């Protein structure tokens, strides 16, 4: 009886007894969720264009910020370091297309998957070799990102909004909007969607897959960089980010591997749910729930809705 | 035939899949500028492979042209890429339509203009032209291609190819899975495009009857070889073609035993 009470009644009573705290928790979860959404977005871009789950996406996040901070520490001004890092991600995309993807065209999906795991190991090693393995502080202020926080009185309590979090949400929103416009309005965007739909047909109308892959990996690299900056500013720049990035797998299962809106909504859902669960139910299980809860939700989805919330509609004509 | 009159010539090509499977064993054919040429033959004769060898889509399926050469507009193209070839003016419409299902009909057509660099107003104009040839596509312009009917998808695929402003279209099995009326309509449009826009066609068909009615010239393939070729009118009068491809026996009904006997004895000699 006591157990049932602490599962089904206690937490809700807690929530409504301190509404401003609840708002605080939801806000934190929401911000976390947008970052998950960004990471998942990188995966979706590549999955759509080349049909492969890119295990290296997590390390690309780390690599991008390490390059940024590394360049800054080497004495390059922050804005120039940012531009150079974008350039590095571009070169990386072209390199990956030439060295990894092009020779593996038309091989089995599993082979491409293995190649991305190899790529992840390579980037991880290269990152440590070039920039060192120790944690670095993010150059938040130098990049002109806001710090400090505002507080607002809501429901009689005080809720803190970190300026950095607000900036993260806005930047994430802008990035998603930019990508959406790019995909639906431009010639290259249309070609990207065409490739996602039917490789062969895309080839037949003269779309060069090599070019499209390089562009997609570059876009994923930019998303990785933005994610890395935001995440690094909230904690530290370290290789642990790679593990957190794998949470995108859970997000993708929930949202569907091929859907950009799915990735965003599922990312936010995961952020909110795991935060709520951690705060209000976590003590029942001894805390630390945040680390694995998303995967449980993903497992449940796999059982009942394997294509995810927004997975590609399978068009069948009768 | 002089050099400038033919837009495409395939010279004695051999195609091998996966390094071991020999599919085409020395095919040669020619397409005169502004004509419709048909490749006829049963399943597995090598029609699709021939078209893909020309359009360079073969390599995406681990096939390779190992002997011979292919000349389009006086340039050898067997080592080119599909996108370079589309820019040169030769595009393939694949068997089974292959529309981009999650794109609208209009977006599908616009992907055909991917390789063009002549500005969006020219492309818009051309889009209207395509809609004039395929009025049904104009009606369905904003619906997802995946939800349109088979005939509309075939039109969409041909229209998409047209958007690249081709000099030549390689058309693979346009009649597949379509009602006879629609097949007639689509072939009619192909003929119009050929006459009004000057597009040359190389089409692969199993439906020998309709192909020979609309084409100028035909090649008959059997297990990777050309066994017969000639003017379309001549082919459709030929006794052997009638017997094997048009399903009309020369001397009325025959018993199955005789047919087998006849087939065994028959050797193609060209």
Q: Which residues of A touch B162 (CB under 8 A)?
A: none
Which residues have C-beta within 8 Å of that of residue A108, sequence separation ≥ 6? none
B168 burial (CB, 10 Å; 0-12 / 13-18 / 19+) is buried
Partners of B103 on chain A (C-beta within 8 Å) are 190, 193-194, 197
Per-residue confidence in pLDDT tens, chain B, 270 aa:
555 589 999 999 999 998 889 999 999 999 999 999 999 988 888 999 999 999 999 888 888 899 999 999 999 998 899 999 999 999 999 998 899 998 999 999 999 999 998 888 999 999 999 999 999 999 999 999 999 999 999 999 999 999 999 999 999 999 998 999 999 999 999 999 999 999 999 999 999 999 999 999 999 998 899 998 999 999 988 888 887 777 765 555 555 555 544 444 445 554
Q: Is A203 close to B85, i.e. CB distance below 8 A?
A: no
Question: Which residues, at least 6 apart from A97, have a Cβ–Cβ distance to it below 8 Å?
Answer: A210, A213, A214, A217
CB of B99 within 8 Å of a chain A CB? The answer is yes
pLDDT digits (tens, 9 = 90+) for A111-149: 888 999 999 999 999 988 888 777 888 887 778 788 777
Question: Chain A: residue nearest B162 by CA?
Answer: A205
Q: What Cα–Cα distance (Å) separates residue A16 from each residue in A13, A21, A159, A277, A300?
A: 5, 9, 15, 15, 28
Contact B146 A201 (CB under 8 A): no
Q: To the nearest whole angstrom, how far is the Cα of A52 from the nearest Cα of chain B?
A: 17
Q: Quick check: B82 and A312 CB within 8 A?
A: no
Hey, is the C-beta of B94 within 8 angstroms of any chain A C-beta? yes
Interface test with A, best of B17, B58, B83 (most A CBs within 10 A): B83
ipTM: 0.85
pTM across the whole model? 0.82
Cβ B83–A208 below 8 Å, yes or no?
Answer: yes
Q: Is B200 helix (H, G, I), strand (E, B) or coil?
A: strand
What is the SS3 assignment for B99? coil
- Residue A80 Cα, gap to closest chain B Cα (Å): 33
Comparing CB atoms, the residue among A197, A201, A206 nearest residue B115 is A206
Nearest partner of A152 among A160, A164, A141, A163, judged by Cα? A160
Chain A interface residues facing chain B, Cβ-Cβ under 8 Å? Answer: 105-106, 187, 190-191, 193-194, 196-208, 312-313, 315, 317
B182 touches chain A (CB under 8 A): no
Of B61, B81, B111, nearest to A205 by CB-CB distance is B111
Q: Are B45 and B110 in contact (CB under 8 A)?
A: no
Q: Which of B62, B82, B93 sits opposite A206 (nearest CB)?
A: B82
* CA pair distance B55, B86, nearest whole angstrom: 8
């Amino acid at each position: 009886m006591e157990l049932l009470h602490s599962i089904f009644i206690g937490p809700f009573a807690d929530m409504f007894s301190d509404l401003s705290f609840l708002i605080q928790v939801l806000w934190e979860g929401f911000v976390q969720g947008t970052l998950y959404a960004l990471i998942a977005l990188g995966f979706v871009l590549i999955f759509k264009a080349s049909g492969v789950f890119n295990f290296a996406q997590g390390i690309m996040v780390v690599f991008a910020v390490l390059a940024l901070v590394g360049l800054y520490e080497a004495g390059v001004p922050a804005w120039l370091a940012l531009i150079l890092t974008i350039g590095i991600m571009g070169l990386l995309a072209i390199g990956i297309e030439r060295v990894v993807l092009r020779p593996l065209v038309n091989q089995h999906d599993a082979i491409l998957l293995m190649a991305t795991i190899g790529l992840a190991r390579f980037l991880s090693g290269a990152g440590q070799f070039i920039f060192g393995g120790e944690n670095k502080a993010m150059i938040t202020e130098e990049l002109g990102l806001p710090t400090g926080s505002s507080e607002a009185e809501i429901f009689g309590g005080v809720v803190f909004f970190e300026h950095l979090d607000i900036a993260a949400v806005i930047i994430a929103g802008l990035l998603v909007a930019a990508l959406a416009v790019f995909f639906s309005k431009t010639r290259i965007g249309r070609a990207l969607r065409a490739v996602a739909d039917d490789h062969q047909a895309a080839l037949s109308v003269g779309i060069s897959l090599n070019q499209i892959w390089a562009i997609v990996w570059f876009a994923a690299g930019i998303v990785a960089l933005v994610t890395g900056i935001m995440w690094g500013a909230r904690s530290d720049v370290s290789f642990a980010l790679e593990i957190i990035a794998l949470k995108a797998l859970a997000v993708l299962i929930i949202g569907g591997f091929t859907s950009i809106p799915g990735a965003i909504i599922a990312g936010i859902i995961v952020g909110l749910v795991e935060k709520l669960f951690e705060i209000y139910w976590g003590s029942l299980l001894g805390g630390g729930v945040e680390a694995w809860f998303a995967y449980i939700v993903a497992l449940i989805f796999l059982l009942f809705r394997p294509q995810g919330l927004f997975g590609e509609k399978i068009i069948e004509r009768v | 035939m002089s050099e400038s009159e033919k837009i495409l010539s395939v010279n004695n090509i051999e195609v091998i899949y996966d390094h071991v499977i020999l599919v085409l064993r020395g095919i040669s054919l020619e397409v005169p500028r502004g004509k419709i040429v048909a490749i006829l033959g049963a399943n597995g004769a090598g029609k699709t492979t021939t078209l893909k060898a020309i359009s360079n889509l073969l390599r995406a399926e681990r096939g390779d042209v190992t002997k011979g050469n292919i000349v389009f507009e006086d340039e050898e193209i067997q080592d080119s890429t599909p996108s370079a070839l589309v820019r040169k003016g030769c595009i393939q419409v694949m068997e089974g339509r292959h529309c981009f299902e999650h794109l609208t009909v209009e977006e599908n057509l616009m992907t055909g203009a991917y390789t063009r660099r002549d500005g969006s107003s020219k492309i818009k104009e051309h889009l209207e032209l395509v809609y004039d040839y395929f009025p049904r596509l104009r009606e369905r312009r904003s619906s997802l291609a995946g939800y349109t009917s088979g005939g509309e998808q075939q039109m969409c695929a041909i229209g998409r190819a047209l958007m690249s402003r081709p000099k030549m279209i390689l058309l693979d099995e346009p009649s597949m899975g379509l009602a006879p009326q629609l097949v007639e309509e689509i072939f009619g449009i192909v003929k119009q495009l050929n006459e009004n826009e000057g597009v040359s066609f190389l089409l692969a068909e199993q439906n020998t009857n309709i192909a020979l009615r609309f084409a100028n010239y035909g090649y008959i393939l059997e297990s990777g070889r050309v066994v017969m070729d000639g003017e379309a009118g001549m082919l459709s009068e030929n006794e052997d073609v009638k017997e094997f491809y048009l399903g009309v026996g020369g001397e009325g009904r025959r018993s199955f035993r005789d047919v087998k006997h006849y087939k065994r004895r028959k050797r193609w000699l060209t």
